[in-house]
Chains A and B, each alone.
Chain A
């Protein structure tokens, strides 16, 4: 299975700052079948990005993503208070689908 490794484990930033999250795959992700999710405590994950760079419906444009092959990045241009959460990457092109271990974005 494809192993996804996210970095950093924790990102301590202030509102208004830029957040850059990384995810590296152990092998190339099929057809950029790659997604990012946000999860807040006590809530289900929320799909942010699919197809490596396409924003899901209703996701603000401060969220952007890029990457292909084995290296992917999620960027939050200016952190809003509601953006402090855990973010997971996922590949869904090879079975089994796999998730990264998560990056926590916390308030500095």
Chain B
């Protein structure tokens, strides 16, 4: 069974750094893209970017380029989303999702990680 299990909820202060994770199981992790999607409170879905764990080929939505870093450690089947300096506006639920190729829709999703940034 394909599963994407994300790390737990985080509460951080503005300016702090953060790295959240998404561990894949039940399939060959390196052969599928992992994307990240943001959902701000009460709002819709925003595609942030995507990574191919086999070679770390990474593509960003220009709206998120420079704001976050997407990475992966194929040795432990885990993808990451990180911030160097959080802002209150980063408060959201972040989902990881598996895509067969860059041009296929995400079918398998993680459970989401709630990130709250507040002073």
Query: Which of the candidate stretches B10-18, B24-32, B70-78, B104-112 sits at the interface with the other chain?
Result: B104-112
Is the Cβ of A47 less than 8 Å from the Cβ of B63? no
Is B61 in contact with chain A by the CB < 8 A criterion? yes
Q: Interface residue tally of chain B, by bracket?
A: 20 to 34
Is the Cβ of B44 less than 8 Å from the Cβ of A97? no
- When A47-B107, A95-B102 are in contact, do A102 and B63 touch as well, CB less than 8 Å? no
Is the Cβ of B59 less than 8 Å from the Cβ of A95? yes
- Which one of A33, A45, A47 lies within 8 Å of B95 (CB-CB)? A45
Is B45 in contact with chain A by the CB < 8 A criterion? yes
User: In the complex, how many residue pairs between chain A and chain B have their CB atoms under 8 Å apart?
Assistant: 54
Query: How would residues 28 to 55 of chain A score, 1 for a CB under 8 Å from any chain B CB and 0 otherwise?
Result: 0010010101010000111100100000
Is the Cβ of B111 less than 8 Å from the Cβ of A44? yes
- When A44-B95, A45-B95, A92-B104 are in contact, do A97 and B109 touch as well, CB less than 8 Å? no
Is A15 in contact with chain B by the CB < 8 A criterion? no
Question: B-contacting residues of A (Cβ < 8 Å)?
Answer: 1, 30, 33, 35, 37, 39, 44-47, 50, 56, 88, 90, 92-93, 95-102
Question: A-contacting residues of B (Cβ < 8 Å)?
Answer: 35, 37, 44-47, 59, 61-63, 95, 97, 99, 102-107, 109-112
